[in-house]
């Protein structure tokens, strides 16, 4: 990364410490020129902090203040989350401009607990690979959903019909659909007419969802539930979360359904030789299993969040749209491009997902 980004480290430490702390770990999380992120774990013997230094389209003073408030609300619900702490100038975030670009420095308490990644041991998973703590993660989603928080003005990383950040030109689903179409047009032209029809279905579903989306109840969510952000106590039970930089306001139906889909853990659903390739694209019994596991996850969420009639009516529309094109499908079509049987079955699976009307919320 270009050194022109760098703020002198001494100036960073001085925002939080009287004397230069020990830096236990530093992480460069930059993703290209437009997404600058560095993280430092600092400790002076009295105070241990995770100091974050960022310049990108989804970090600004308003968002950092919103993350701090949402973290506070999660803690009130009994979901432990390290707080964003003010610096010595009483700022939640220090802002400066260099070469016309905005930079922010903010810090969080160091977490009291290990992440699930740090505890990734075999006895935490059942015979099919589901971690024992996942159901409690889902219940925590239900707790937050039931609060109907409405104080954030920006969407989360789970957003469905809008771009996540100002620099994005389309929502992620549309981006994935167009990427899939363009690849087939260039590399597999014999299948292009069929894929064009799938795109028509995709946009019909998108417009149907747009008509009902504004009426759906909302809440504000952390929106990054990967294992590196899940905190476990000494008994390996879920207790909390770190990393709110993708958090935002979402329709509860979108967030909970997407979470229930993404938190399915069963090794039978992935090709044993290639985890990115899914067995349920090619075998109906595996797709039936996937839906069964999805509904089990929804039931965990429903222990704390009762869906409204409006949400129940909107669910089939949302599911047809959400459960279609994604990044993994473009990777898969590239992988199988010499296998006509698999191409036919993958396209048939996509069509089925975009037209199915056989699933309801339990």
> What pLDDT score does 169 carry?
80
275 vs 191, higher pLDDT: 191
Sign, Cα dihedral of 173, 176, 180, 182: positive
CA 78 → CA 81, 99, 131, 181, 238, distances in Å? 9, 43, 21, 45, 11
HEC letters along 159-215: CCCCCCCCCCCCCHHHHHHHHHHHHHHHHCHHHHHHHHHHHHHHHHHHHHHHHHHHH
In angstroms, the Cα distances linking 77 to 71, 74, 80 are: 10, 5, 8
Strand partners, 23: 42
pLDDT at 123 over 90: no
Give me the mean pLDDT over the 132-160 stretch: 97
152 pLDDT exceeds 50? Answer: yes
Task: Tell me what the pLDDT averaged over the chain comes to.
Answer: 94
CATH of 117-355, one of 3.30.2020, 1.10.10, 3.90.1200, 3.30.70: 3.90.1200
What is the CATH code for 3-110?
3.30.200.20
Helix (H) or strand (E) holding 351: helix 340-355
Residue ranges of the chain that CATH labels 3.30.200.20: 3-110
* 222 contacts 207 by C-beta, under 8 angstroms: no
The predicted-structure confidence for 240-277, as pLDDT tens digits, reads as follows 999 999 999 999 999 999 999 999 999 999 988 777 79
pLDDT of 4 above 80: no
What is the pLDDT at residue 98? 85
Mean pLDDT confidence for 14-35: 89
CATH 3.90.1200 domain span(s) along the chain: 117-355
Query: Mean pLDDT, to the nearest integer, of 267-292?
Result: 92
CB 83 within 8 A of CB 107: no
Q: Tell me how far apart the alpha carbons of residues 144 and 70 are, in angstroms, rounded to a whole number.
A: 10
pLDDT of residue 6: 57
Smallest Cα–Cα separation from 329: which of 287, 279, 290, 276? 276
């Amino acid at each position: 990364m270009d050194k022109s980004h760098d703020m002198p480290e001494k100036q960073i430490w001085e925002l939080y410490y009287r004397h230069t702390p020990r830096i236990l770990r530093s992480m460069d999380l930059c993703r290209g020129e437009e997404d600058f992120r560095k993280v430092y774990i600092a400790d002076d013997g009295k105070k241990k902090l995770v100091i974050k230094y960022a310049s990108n389209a989804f970090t600004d003073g308003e968002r950092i203040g919103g993350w701090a408030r949402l973290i506070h609300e999660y803690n009130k619900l009994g979901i432990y989350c390290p707080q964003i702490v003010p610096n010595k100038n009483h700022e939640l975030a220090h802002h400066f401009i260099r070469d016309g670009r905005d930079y922010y420095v903010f810090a969080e308490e160091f977490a009291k607990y290990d992440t699930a990644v740090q505890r990734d041991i075999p006895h935490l998973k059942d015979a099919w690979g589901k971690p024992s703590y996942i159901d409690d993660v889902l219940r925590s989603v239900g707790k937050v959903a039931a609060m109907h928080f409405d104080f954030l003005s920006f969407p989360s990383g789970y957003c469905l019909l809008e771009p996540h950040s100002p620099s994005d030109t389309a929502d992620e689903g549309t981006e994935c659909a167009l990427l899939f179409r363009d690849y087939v047009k260039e590399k597999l032209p014999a299948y292009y007419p069929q894929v064009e029809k799938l795109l028509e279905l995709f946009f019909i579903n998108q417009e149907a969802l747009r008509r009902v989306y504004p009426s759906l109840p909302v809440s504000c969510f952390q929106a990054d539930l990967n294992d590196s952000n899940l905190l476990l106590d000494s008994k390996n039970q879920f207790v909390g979360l770190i990393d709110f930089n993708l958090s935002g306001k979402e329709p509860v139906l979108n967030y909970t359904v997407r979470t229930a889909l993404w938190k399915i853990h069963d090794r039978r659903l992935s090709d044993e030789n290639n985890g990115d390739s899914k067995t349920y694209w090619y075998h109906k019994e595996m797709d039936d299993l996937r839906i069964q596991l999805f509904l089990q996850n929804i039931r965990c969420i429903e222990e704390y969040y009762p869906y409204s009639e409006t949400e129940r009516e909107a669910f089939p529309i949302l599911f047809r749209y959400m459960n279609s094109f994604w990044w993994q499908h473009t990777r898969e079509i590239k992988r199988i491009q010499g296998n006509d049987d698999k191409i036919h079955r993958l396209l048939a699976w996509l069509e089925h997902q975009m037209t199915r009307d056989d699933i309801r919320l339990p």
